[in-house]
Amino acid sequence: MNDDFYRIRRLPPYVIAEVNSMRAAARARGDDIIDLGMGNPDLPPPAHVIAKLAEVAAKPDAHGYSASKGIPGLRKAQANYYGRRFGVDVDPETEVVVTLGSKEGLANLAQAITAPGDVVLAPNPSYPIHTFGFIIAGATIRSVPTTPDERYFESLERAMKFTVPKPSVLVMGYPSNPTAETVDLAFYERVVEFAKKHQLWVLSDLAYSEIYFDGKPTPSILQVPGAKDVAIEFTSMSKTYSMAGWRIGFAVGNKTLIAALTRVKSYLDYGAFTPIQAAAVAAINGPQDCVESNRQLYHRRRDVLVESFGRSGWEIPPPRASMFAWAPLPPSLEHLGSLEFSKQLLTHAGVAVAPGVGYGEDGEGFVRIALVENEHRIRQAARNVRKYLQSMGVNTPAKAAN
Ligand SMILES: Cc1ncc(COP(=O)(O)O)c(C=O)c1O
């Protein structure tokens, strides 16, 4: 029997899983691990959203199969969100589809539009589904940088000039997971122009649309006039409303791509549980003070992380958005590499982080730190890190972090 399955063979060992299983083993031994590894929000969804879920779940007729592309009220709510937040008009019938989280949407769109051997441009480092969604679908990935500067556009130009067959899709996600880099509208204008010139589909992942700091809201690619000719954008309830386990997200934009995703999904799923979709409507159409207070909370955690880790001898550049910091390894420990450094932090400091190499080879030299523990725990992590750094002979500032 052949057990060398084509798709499985194309999936490398999941580096981050190594640290995850060490963390699970440490916890099973009773160790207190401060978990800044996964981007799993530690906050609850708003109370009125949970109340709506319970209310609709109590109805006897709410338990059948739902609508694969999402109930009309939820697609309308998402269209309204694009109108009020970005000033973008979208048709809830033809330009919006509800997904079982944005990850599912990205993966199934990749299935819908990729033929084996197609070339897809994706950032390195990147959130894994940006590459593996397409690799599973049989595509070849050509990496482009994540940093949205001149080098990014140069590498797009080179890719179009020298790759055979010509790339058909460009994937991007800002604020970036893992690097937390952000872009402005001028960047998206250039991307849309480039995509039109080269007949490229653009997939934008805007999972952190509402987690931005320093008062600079994150733009949507769909704000660029004519972007809908080439682009589709994914957003998520997971981080904005701390509903990660509920599995609700959206794709919005180009009608052809929305139709392709909707069609594949119609073969694969029956839509999210109706009470969850109804509660998602309540979240998007209801009071938004929870979004603002969560933004402020992540902002404070970011400041505490940067300040307390800095005082422990590890300089961390402050992220402008997302729920992550992208931290270069302390210079004198660079030789360890991000995987070994992450393992040592877990073992000797009781702090879990995600090794940068898990997001692509250009993530080497960095770790991703998620803002998913409270300020007190982040300060505790900083104290533990200080002791670990001292044990490794790293010079730490004279005054202990507190
Ligand atoms: C950039 C990015 N896209 C998508 C996702 C997945 O989100 P969802 O829960 O909507 O599937 C994540 C989750 O961490 C993410 O960081």
Ligand 1 proximity of 127 Cβ (cutoff 6 Å): yes
Q: How many residues does the chain have?
A: 402
Instruction: Please state the pTM of the whole predicted model.
Output: 0.96
The span from the CA of 33 to the CA of 27, in Å, is: 7
Nearest by Cα to 394 from 332, 303, 345, 326: 332
Per-residue pLDDT of 10-41, as tens digits, reads: 888 888 888 889 999 999 999 999 999 988 99
Ligand 1 center–CA 103 separation, angstroms: 6
- Average pLDDT value for the chain: 96
Ligand 1 proximity of 146 Cβ (cutoff 6 Å): no
Residues 6+ apart with CB under 8 A from 183: 148, 174, 219
Give the residue whose CA is nearest to atom 14 of ligand 1: 39
Give the residue whose CA is nearest to atom 3 of ligand 1: 207
pLDDT of residue 263: 98
Ligand 1 center–CA 231 separation, angstroms: 18
Contact by Cβ (8 Å): 340, 266:
no
Structure tokens at 99: 């997904």
Testing ligand 1's pocket by substitution, the residue of 16, 38, 109, 127 carrying the most ligand atoms inside 8 A of its CB is: 127
**Confidence category of residue 399, pLDDT binned at 50, 70, 90:** low
Ligand 1 proximity of 123 Cβ (cutoff 6 Å): no
Mean pLDDT of 221-226: 98
Lowest mean pLDDT, pick from 11-20, 166-175, 353-362, 375-384: 11-20
Ligand 1 proximity of 236 Cβ (cutoff 6 Å): yes
Ligand 1 center–CA 117 separation, angstroms: 26
Q: Is the pLDDT of residue 379 over 80?
A: yes
Nearest by Cα to 209 from 82, 369, 36: 82
Ligand 1 center–CA 400 separation, angstroms: 36
